[in-house]
A and B are shown apart, each in its own frame.
Chain A
């Protein structure tokens, strides 16, 4: 209820700030979103009555914040995004209704999920349906409909890891190839495909999820240490071998140069901030312009004097810098706080779950959610090198929305079961 009202206020703010250019459409969005949230809430009440009561409102609020900012940046994009939110809510409802009795049957199909994950990741490389956008081959298209299957691949991989690690967690320590084999094959294949598609952000995310879940299942820090060691060695090798990766690291370490260097975009010498690191640097300027209180929703500056977007990928990878400019430090910290609460609730769900699969599934989904947020926002804030990936629930992008509604459904299913059992015991 509160969330719905907040969303309405958000749209009203954009509406007031941009009253000269936008019609009453924004209020329609508020009403529409409120209705959608109500529907999702009712489905959840019916199918998973004992689920954690916080995760759905927080997810809805994050979605609403994203939709509001996307609407402010381009009303037509908001329509497409809203359509995807509807799809996401439908998928969410189907998942809840279909798996409300016992989602643990998923465990039986773990290899199907493992292979499915590889297949989904591999799809963009297939001729005919694969599509390359901004140099990364992450998309498939059917007609005019575009989709990033990797987002769903992430969830499939988490399901596989949860099921596989639950089964083998006791024996992995023995280090037998028979136990490690399937795990390494599927995970290794995923990493290979991600490198083949130049999707560094997802590669980093998958690696992190894998290490996190491996540690949760086996309690062996040695595995994590070995994994991190491998990661460093692998990164060094990749840094030398791949110009693409080298560029990202240089953009991170030295986004500003004082001398002109070779610019691969036009083949001319240019300062790095005018060439490779342009988006990163302008995104920092955008955040800096927000200062403490922000410019106010709808009053930020995102377009140059000729009307073009200063940061081309603003609504997808860089939506955080748009929000940080308009909402300021107060708003940005509030947004991050929402992510923190969501992550804490997610881990709480996994702590209260009774079986290993449920624990690992909830922890994997939550850790992946947190890590994805860190990878993109940390990249924007120059904490780590920037790798393009979506900000969960907020960024523009249909596949990401649908995938994160599945994360939400997973957490609610696990928590519903755990809470029902607890209630039954007492």
Chain B
């Protein structure tokens, strides 16, 4: 009988060895995949045992994200609280107990949970875990100025739109406001997400979750004339004193494009003889149409690229919450870089398939103010560990030179003229020289416009650059509705 018994023993052992093999599979090979699964109730709790780092505004007095601590069944759990409610919610984002995340909460998750600490920190965190001590994530200090952010949100009110303000030299983002906004605390409440989805501003199809500052794509209208003018001047094709004759329209492909279609000109439809400077100041479409035709779409688009178009602008928020500006195919809704598909005349005054984000337009204004170099935008100033040590301090960088310093200087003068005696007088600040450009883009609906204002100040030593966009404004011109918002923000952000 012993032969059978030996065989039976082998069968029993093989069964037990299979268990070791299966355990090895689940704990090594398959472990990572299982931990990432959305329905993993264990990871959901493990995540709550980590005290996520704080997210603070510039100045350190305003906390955008903090933790609520509670003891459940012998363990300390932390859940997220957003004391500022709707302020900068699209940038800060949210992190829920159901492990859904957005904004900086998502993109900076590794820092906030202390997961990508260096070796000695990682060792300490293992010791903490063994000793049952709480793991503390790193704190984020943002460049956002809470008071200006609050002001921007107030000024936008219930209108749909966005405000982006930044330092034109460093790229530090002071304001990133998107309207309508939402309270991130709602996301984790029962039924709260549905409530957030129902939030409506004064525009249909508005999602409060969308960060209009970095994700919203709008027709730039006349604000794009800054880029066209940059190309016209930088290539030496035109000077501010180049003269034009404006008959009130421009002929393209044998068809007349009338200035009357441009609400930005402030009533006058025929200017007659004028120079390039005046055409910019009064935003005359027919002149830019002819400039565009002469430059060609390829030149204009190559300058747009130098300003950062056709690439997703860098920022610490998740890449899929930022969109690149540029010409978009109307069929596929994807970027279409081919200049042969562009109509140079209409492109020149920002009324073709060109779509831009407010962040990109703030970068354009900054570049002019910064002597032609495109600053690299950032919103996280500093990352510190729980003990206060600096983990990372953001050093300002740039995205290269877009235009010559001389070109930037001339453009600046032209933008100053816009605010001094052109379409943007509503942005003038007493005692401060403001440089700006209005934009009023047509939508498919008559008399409903996308209103723009981009600016920087003070012109001789720029400290702040602003881009304001308001969606679906009935008879709302950029110079009338957007410029006053830019003015108040610049006032709030300028020292003294």
A residues contacting B by CB (< 8 A) are 17-18, 20-21, 212, 215-217, 219, 256, 271, 273-274, 281-282, 284-292, 295-296, 298-299, 301-307, 310, 324-325, 328-329, 332-333, 336-337, 339-340, 343-344, 347, 350-351, 356, 359-360, 363, 366-367, 370-371, 373-374, 377-378, 381-383
Contacts known (A219-B4, A328-B27); A307 close to B73, Cβ less than 8 A: yes
Contacts of B72 in A (CB 8 A): 303, 305-307
Q: Is the CB of A292 within 8 A of B4?
A: no
* Cα-based distance from A17 to B19 in the complex (angstroms): 28
Contacts known (A303-B72, A351-B5); A288 close to B31, Cβ less than 8 A: yes
Interface residue? B432 (CB, 8 A): no
10 contacts between A and B (CB under 8 A): A273-B39, A285-B40, A292-B27, A325-B42, A343-B13, A347-B5, A347-B8, A374-B15, A378-B18, A383-B18
- In the complex, identify which listed stretch (B44-52, B151-159, B265-273) lies at the interface while the others stay far away: B44-52
Contacts known (A285-B41, A310-B42); A217 close to B23, Cβ less than 8 A: no
Contacts known (A18-B74, A370-B12, A374-B15); A301 close to B49, Cβ less than 8 A: yes
Min CB distance A323 to B, Å, is 10
Contacts of A366 in B (CB 8 A): 9, 12
Contacts of B20 in A (CB 8 A): 333, 336-337
Contacts of A298 in B (CB 8 A): 132
Contacts known (A289-B42, A343-B9, A351-B5); A303 close to B73, Cβ less than 8 A: yes
Min CB distance B14 to A, Å, is 9
Q: Is the CB of B16 within 8 A of A340?
A: yes
Contacts known (A310-B42, A336-B20, A382-B22); A329 close to B27, Cβ less than 8 A: yes
Q: Is the CB of B1 within 8 A of A299?
A: no
Over the window 42-78 of chain B, the binary record of Cβ atoms lying under 8 Å from chain A Cβ atoms (1 yes, 0 no) is 1111101100000000000000000000001111010
Q: Which residue of chain B is the closest to A287 with respect to CB atoms? A: B26
Q: Is the CB of A215 within 8 A of B27?
A: no
Contacts of B48 in A (CB 8 A): 305
Contacts of A284 in B (CB 8 A): 26, 34
Interface residue? B118 (CB, 8 A): no
Min CB distance B437 to A, Å, is 50
Contacts known (A285-B34, A343-B12, A347-B8); A301 close to B22, Cβ less than 8 A: no
Min CB distance B43 to A, Å, is 7
Min CB distance B234 to A, Å, is 54
Contacts of A356 in B (CB 8 A): 1
Q: Which residue of chain B is the closest to A359 with respect to CB atoms? A: B1
Contacts of A325 in B (CB 8 A): 42
| Most chain B beta-carbon contacts within 10 A, residue among A219, A285, A296, A360 | A285
Interface residue? B28 (CB, 8 A): yes
| Most chain A beta-carbon contacts within 10 A, residue among B3, B22, B24, B30 | B22
Interface residue? B6 (CB, 8 A): yes
Contacts of A344 in B (CB 8 A): 9, 13
Min CB distance A255 to B, Å, is 10
Contacts of B77 in A (CB 8 A): 305
* Cα-based distance from A377 to B11 in the complex (angstroms): 16
How many residues from B make CB contacts under 8 Å with A? 50
Contacts of B3 in A (CB 8 A): 219
* Cα-based distance from A305 to B6 in the complex (angstroms): 50
Min CB distance B5 to A, Å, is 5
Interface residue? B332 (CB, 8 A): no
Contacts of B46 in A (CB 8 A): 289, 301
Q: Is the CB of B97 within 8 A of A305?
A: yes
Min CB distance B28 to A, Å, is 7
Contacts of A295 in B (CB 8 A): 129
Min CB distance A220 to B, Å, is 9
Interface residue? B447 (CB, 8 A): no
User: B24 is contacted by which of A329, A350, A371 (Cβ under 8 Å)?
Assistant: A329
Q: A17-B132, A288-B30 are in contact. List 8 more A-B contacts (CB 8 A).
A: A271-B39, A288-B31, A292-B27, A301-B46, A304-B44, A328-B27, A370-B13, A377-B19
Q: Is the CB of B16 within 8 A of A373?
A: yes
* Cα-based distance from A80 to B468 in the complex (angstroms): 70
* Cα-based distance from A374 to B22 in the complex (angstroms): 11
Top 10 closest pairs, chain A to chain B, by CB: A307-B73, A347-B9, A370-B12, A381-B22, A288-B34, A374-B15, A288-B31, A329-B27, A307-B72, A216-B4
Min CB distance B132 to A, Å, is 6
Min CB distance A417 to B, Å, is 16
User: B13 is contacted by which of A21, A310, A340 (Cβ under 8 Å)?
Assistant: A340
Over the window 197-220 of chain B, the binary record of Cβ atoms lying under 8 Å from chain A Cβ atoms (1 yes, 0 no) is 000000000000000000000000
Contacts of A328 in B (CB 8 A): 27
Q: Which residue of chain B is the closest to A286 with respect to CB atoms? A: B42
Q: Is the CB of B15 within 8 A of A371?
A: yes
User: B42 is contacted by which of A285, A347, A370, A377 (Cβ under 8 Å)?
Assistant: A285
* Cα-based distance from A295 to B30 in the complex (angstroms): 17
Contacts of A332 in B (CB 8 A): 23, 27
Contacts of A296 in B (CB 8 A): 129-130
Contacts of A373 in B (CB 8 A): 15-16, 19
Q: Which residue of chain A is the closest to B31 with respect to CB atoms? A: A288
Contacts of B4 in A (CB 8 A): 215-217, 219
Contacts of B49 in A (CB 8 A): 301
* Cα-based distance from A17 to B130 in the complex (angstroms): 8
* Cα-based distance from A289 to B48 in the complex (angstroms): 15
User: B15 is contacted by which of A287, A305, A370 (Cβ under 8 Å)?
Assistant: A370
Contacts of B39 in A (CB 8 A): 271, 273-274, 281
Contacts of B1 in A (CB 8 A): 216-217, 219, 356, 359-360
Interface residue? B37 (CB, 8 A): yes
Interface residue? B35 (CB, 8 A): yes
Contacts of B74 in A (CB 8 A): 18, 20-21
Interface residue? B444 (CB, 8 A): no
| Most chain B beta-carbon contacts within 10 A, residue among A304, A328, A371 | A304
